[in-house]
Amino acid sequence: MRRLITPLAASLLLAGCVHLAPDYQRPAAPVPDALPVTGDVTQAHWPSTVELLRDARLRQVVELALAGNRDLRVALLNVEKSRAQLRIADADRWPTLSAALIASRAPNNQGVQANSWQGGLQLSSYEIDLLGRVRDASDAAAASLLATEAAARAARLALVTQTATAWLTLAADTEQLRLVRATLASREESLRLTVLRERVGAASALELRAAEGLAASARAAVAQLERQQAQDRNALALLVGQPLTAAQLPPEDVSLAGADWLAPVPAGMSSQVLLARPDVIQAEQQLVAANANIGVARGAMFPRLVISGSAGQVSDTLAGLFDGGRFAYSLTSTLAMALFDAGRNQANVRVAEVNREQAVASYEKTVQGAYREAADALVAQATWTRQVQAQQALLNAEQERTRLTRLRFEAGAASLVDTLDAERSLAAAQQALVQVRLAEALNRLALYKALGGAERAGA
């Protein structure tokens, strides 16, 4: 017994000392060292999701989406599945012991058919991990778990930004619908007065047709925005996973002006911050898994030591098994290596190496994509702010122009067509300002997502 146990114990001590997988090194990020800086550099505290969303209704809707969105639920279940798969891979590093009761009937030494009963423990085909093949498989499963967890964090971040985007878009469309309805009421009143003036000869047919055209245009805009508003509600309900109440939707008098919807996002950072994005972490862990799988493939080219055995009581009868049976054991070790497999193992190694090369390319592409998203959002941040200011100035000018034109019309110094044209320009400026404010808010969300949001490693 000692002669058998001693070499097996030595094998166990040596198991894993040899490592066939390449040493992992993170590829150099193929992007500039620093993110672009435009305008003032923000040094604000990095906001959590709750801190980012300053509106109570918006926060509540995002929290509902995190609790009820089906896509996020699938991502979280994938994490649970990967965790179970890691336990399966880790289990291969340990022997499997079973309780067994074996009955057999076979000729004995004298050639007489005899019964044999054996009860005890069984060791099933346990591989001594001499070259680290099983450990590499476990490491690959662990990296896959980390990649799946990062994918779930990426899905959570995407859901937060998608839900906030859908809610703010609904708010913008609600504000535009309110403005257009007010414009329609004004134009219908102007049309009514123009019809009366045209009947008494105080207005021309041209002025009447212009008033009719503006009223019809406002009615079409109302119908379009009502459709958009309904579709926005449906999109938001799909993200949240349930219908929303009026108390959770933007109020009818919502305005994107003067409301601090989102907290500032820090800028002026090193591009190394992108390595903490969940999608970049996911790509890197997939690379780590591919690297470990090379060791698994290489291990198949070398001998594998497998042991099995059993130990327990042996008797000629079932009753004797528990009363006076003899102790017996068996131990078998097998050292096997493929001598000819038509190049299968070499091909598997090459496949693993190509998979790693693909993972490197995917990782680098993910980092490059992350840099572009962050750079685009940073560059746009200052320009959107200036555009909002310019659009507000345009609106102020159009409001004053409309006021003055109406005064001139009432004094007989301007035509009705001039007044209608000023009102049309004012309505267009109001709609454009809402759209620009929405775009500025959505860009801030995009920057938050591009820099990893609250799902960054270490955030």
Residue 131 has a pLDDT of 85
Burial 257-290 (b: 16+ CB within 10 A, else e): eeeebbbbbbbebebebbbebbbbbbbbbbbbbb
Q: Can you tell me the distance from the alpha carbon of 295 to that of 352, in angstroms, rounded to the nearest whole number? A: 9
Residue 316 has a pLDDT of 75
Say how far residue 431 (Cα) sits from the centre of its chain.
33
Q: What is the pLDDT of residues 152-195, one digit of tens each?
A: 999 999 999 999 999 999 999 999 999 999 999 999 998 998 89
Identify the sign of the CA torsion 440, 442, 446, 447.
positive
Q: What is the pLDDT of residues 190-209, one digit of tens each?
A: 899 889 988 888 888 888 99
Residue 390 has a pLDDT of 95
Cα three-residue angle 235-232-425, rounded to 5 degrees? 155
Q: How many CB atoms lie within 10 A of CB 198?
A: 18
Report DSSP state, residue 455. G
Cβ(165)–Cβ(441) below 8 Å: no
Q: Can you tell me the distance from the alpha carbon of 95 to that of 123, in angstroms, rounded to the nearest whole number? A: 7
Q: Can you tell me the distance from the alpha carbon of 426 to that of 394, in angstroms, rounded to the nearest whole number? A: 9
Q: How many CB atoms lie within 10 A of CB 159?
A: 19
Question: In terms of Cα–Cα distance, which of 89, 78, 209 is closest to 155?
Answer: 78
Residue 82 has a pLDDT of 94
Cβ(290)–Cβ(27) below 8 Å: no
Burial 302-327 (b: 16+ CB within 10 A, else e): eebbebbbbebbbbeeeeebeeebee
Q: Can you tell me the distance from the alpha carbon of 233 to that of 177, in angstroms, rounded to the nearest whole number? A: 14
Chunk the chain into consecutive blocks of 10 residues (it has 459) and report each block's average pLDDT, rounded to whole numbers.
50 58 89 72 63 87 93 94 92 86 80 79 85 90 94 94 95 94 91 90 87 93 95 95 92 79 71 89 95 92 88 77 75 86 91 95 95 90 89 95 90 85 91 94 90 71
Bridge-partner residues for 119, per DSSP?
Answer: 101, 313
Lookup result for tokens 């000729």: 107
DSSP, residue by residue, 120-171: EEEEEEEEE-TTSHHHHHHHHHHHHHHHHHHHHHHHHHHHHHHHHHHHHHHH
Residue type at 69?
Answer: N
Q: What is the pTM of this model?
A: 0.83
Residue 4 has a pLDDT of 46
Residue 39 has a pLDDT of 52
Report DSSP state, residue 276. G
Q: How many CB atoms lie within 10 A of CB 37?
A: 14
Angle of helix 56-68 relative to helix 70-91, nearest 10 degrees, comes to 50
> What kind and span of H or E run contains 98?
strand 97-107
Backbone angles phi, psi at 35, to 5 degrees: -75, 150
